[in-house]
Structure 1
Amino acid sequence: MSPEYKCFRKDRSNSNIECVMGGGVLIAVRKDIDGDEFFMDETKDLEAICVRVSLTNSSLYLNCLYIQPTAPIETYIDHLRAIDKIEDSMSLGDISLYCGDWNLPNTKWINDEDGLGLMPIIGDSECAKAIVTRRVTDHLLNRGSSQLCNLTNKYGNVLDLIHTNMPELSLVEKADMLIIPEEISDAAHVQIAVTIECEPALGNSNTSTKSINCFKKANFEEMRNFFGAIDYSYLYNMLDINEMVDSLYAILYDAIDKFVPKASIRSNNKPIWYDNKLTNLKNVMSRQYKKLGNKPKVNRDADEGDFKRAQADFCEYQKIHYHEHIKDISNCSKSDPKRFWKYINGKRTSNTIPKKLSYEGTTVTEDREKAKMFANFFSSV
C-alpha cells in the first residue's frame, strides 16, 4: 500500500466468515483527505467496513462489503441493517456509496425510467437467491439508492453491485488501469472504476495551504527574557558589518521560531465569482463527457446531445455570473475602492517597469530618462 494512503480494513479472521482463503475488505483514503472509520455494532461479525469522508459541505459514506455465495438470507438482512444504520446517521446533502460482491447471480439489470439507475429483472422464481435479490433491491430502492453497475463477468453474471443516493453525479465503468493483471485476476469479477463528483474537505486541487507566524498569539514576555539573556558583546568583535547583521537576524529568527506559533491559511485558487451552482454544472458536464468515452467514434452508441446541453448550461451560467461580478466590481469603485483596486491589481501580470516608455513621440530606455518622463507627465495633472 502506498504511504500516501490511510488504510481501513476488515480481515476475514475478524468476521464470522468460515472460508479462510483470501477475503477481507479494504478501503484506502488519501492521507490529505479527512476520512475516518464509521463504527457500527451491526458490522461486528460481517465482512464489511464503512468510512466517512468529510466533504466541503457534507459527508461521503463509503461502505464496502462481501457476502459468500452460500450465505443465508439472515446474512443479507444483517448487511441491510448496517446500511439502515448508515442512512439514519446521514444528514441532508450527504452521499452514500455501497460497493461490494453481493453474490446475486442470474439477475439481469435494465435502465430505470429516469435512465440514471438500473432495475433488476428477477421473474417469479421462488428460489432462495430470487427471494434474497427481491428483498435487497426493494430495501435499497426504498432507501433512495440506485444500482449503477451492469458489468458482467466471464460467466455473464453481475456480482459486484454499486448503490448510491446520487446517481446523477456518479459514473461506473470498467477500469482502464487494472490493479491486478487480467491473466491472474478472478474470472468471476470485473475490475470496476467508480467516479463520483464531490469535493473533499481536504486535498482539493483548487486550494493551497501556506503557513504563517501568528504574532497575535506570540509569547512576548518569554521573547523579551530570551533577548535579555543574550551576551551581544561578541558582535562588536566582528569586522564585517554583513556578518554582524546576519548574526543579529539569526537571533531574531530563532526567537520567532521558539515563541511565535504558526497558523495554516488555506486559499482557494478558483475565481471569487465561482459559486456552488457553477461547480455543480461543471461536474454534470464532466460526467456527460466521460459517458461519451475517449472519442465519439469509439463509442458509437454515445449520445452527444446530453453533453452539449450540459456544456451549454455551464457556459451560459458562467458568462452571466461573470458579467454580474464585473458589474458589481464597477459599481463599488467609489463606495469600496479597496475592493475595486484589489481586482485591478489581481489582473496585472507584472509589476515591473516596461523596458521602453513612449510619450509625445519620444521613446526612452534608461531608468533616469523614464523617471523624467513620468515627472513631466504627472506635473501637468
Structure 2
Amino acid sequence: MGDFNLPLVNWITDDAEHNVLIPTCVTPLHAADFIEDITANGVYQINSIRNASNGLLDLIFTNDFMNVEVSSTPPLSSIDEKYHPPILLSYEWHMGNVTQEQISTQNFFKADYIAINRYLEEVNFCQQFLNKTLDQKVDILHQILNDAIDKYVPIQTKKVKPKCPWQNKQLQSLKNKKNKEWKRSKFTGDDSNYLMALDKLTKLNTELYNSYVDKVSSSLKSDPLSFWRFVNTKKNSDCDPKSLQFGEKSSVDKKEQAEMFATFFKNNFANQPSQFQPTALC
C-alpha cells in the first residue's frame, strides 16, 4: 500500500461486496505496465476512498481481499483531506489453529451512530487538548474514539472455516486469480482464461494435497494424532473428485468425468452366465 503516483488511472468497482476495483483508462504507458505486472501476481486493488479532487493516489493491493476492510477516518489536517485522506485498514489474521471455530468482531453496520455523535458532542476537546503535544492529542483522540466504539458498536460472532493444511501463498493466489477470471467471464462471455486459471489451481492443489498425504502417512508412527485428525476431516469432506485421470486423459469437467467413469465400468464389466437355474415355486 502507498502513494503510487498514478493520478491518471481511473478505478471502477468490479466487486461491490468486497470493494475490489479494476483500472480503466490506464495512462501513461509506464502505469499500464506497472499495473499489468502487479495484477499478474494475483493481487487486487481495494481502496476506493478518494481525496478532495476525486482522485485515488493511495492504492492498497492484496491477495486476500476477503479478510480486509478499508474505511476512512477523520483527517488531522485539511492538507490530508485534500490529497491523502487517512485510511483505516483492518485485516483479519487467522492463525493455523484448526480447532478455532468462532471469532468475535465489532459490527459497524449495526452501530448506534446517533449515540456516538451525542457522545462526541459532550466531549470538551479544547479542555482535553489543553497544553498537550501533538502526539498526546492524537493519543487522546484515539482513546475517545475507542471508548465510543466500545460503548456503541455491538460485538458479533463469526464462524471461521479453517484453511486446508496444505494451502500456501501460491495456492491462495491461484484461487483469487480463478475467482477473478470467473467474474470477468460473466461479463465478457469468454471463459478461456477462467478455465486456464482453474486448470493451474487444480494441478497445484492436487500436487500439494498428495505431498501432504505422503507427509501425514510417513509420520503415522511418530505423530499418530495428526494422522487421525486428517482422517476425521475426510469424514465430512466432499467426495466428488476435483480432477479425475483415466489412462492418459485428465479432466476437471463433471460431464467428462462421468463419461470416464462409464468407460471404466464398461471395460471392466463382462456378462457372465447365471449359475442358478429357475425352479418352479409351489
Same fold (TM over 0.5): no
Structure with the largest fraction of helix: 2
TM-score by length of 1: 0.27
Structure with the largest fraction of strand: 1
Higher RCO, Cα 8 Å, sep 6+ = 2
